[in-house]
Amino acid sequence: MNRMENLYRQIIMEHYKNPRNKGLVDDERYNKSHIRNPSCGDDVTIQTLVEGGEVKDIRHEGSGCSICCSSASVLSALLKRRPVEEAQYISTQYVNMVSGQSYDTDVELEDAEAYQGVKQFPARIKCATIAWQAFEDTLGGDDDE
């Protein structure tokens, strides 16, 4: 597998072409976060429905490169129907993985494992994490931005 194939795994391209949970809903119960990367124009909106401590639904919309758009789809499939704390924990492990930091390898990242190659492309880490940041924002954790 060459460097390009290592980055652009089939699963990633598949999610890019056929995104899951795409399209926002007009429902006040959802929390929404919109992040735009001002340097490249990647633009992601994540909506989550949290009820009874569980992430009941995740929707996404946006435009950008394949890494950015596909990761929003992968995130929605992976974290839907999880307890908030677990979803938060998995998200942190994913972000650590793609940015080359240590992470809990016991966590099942499923399709998100495919983004392992990103850490070898520092210029693309932002693309791979922007949707996840938006997701974490919808959980209302960090209010520092």
Taking CB under 8 A as the criterion, the residue among 4, 26, 53, 144 binding another protein is 4
Q: Are 43 and 74 in contact (CB under 8 A)?
A: no
Rounded distance between C-alpha atoms, residue 139 and residue 16, angstroms: 25
Rounded distance between C-alpha atoms, residue 135 and residue 93, angstroms: 14
Q: Are 98 and 9 in contact (CB under 8 A)?
A: no
Beta-carbon contacts of residue 134 (< 8 Å; ≥ 6 apart) = 33, 34, 35, 44, 45, 46
Which stretch, 47-55, 81-89, 96-104, 117-125, contacts another protein (CB under 8 A)?
117-125
The yes or no reply on residue 67 touching another protein (CB under 8 A) is yes
The yes or no reply on residue 64 touching another protein (CB under 8 A) is yes
The yes or no reply on residue 7 touching another protein (CB under 8 A) is yes
In the bound state with another protein, the residue whose beta carbon lies nearer, of 36 and 82, is 36
Taking CB under 8 A as the criterion, the residue among 1, 10, 26, 144 binding another protein is 10
29-58 residues in contact with another protein (CB under 8 A) are 39-43
Task: Name the site residues for another protein (rule: CB under 8 A).
Answer: 3-4, 7-8, 10, 13-14, 16-17, 39-43, 63-68, 121, 123-124, 127
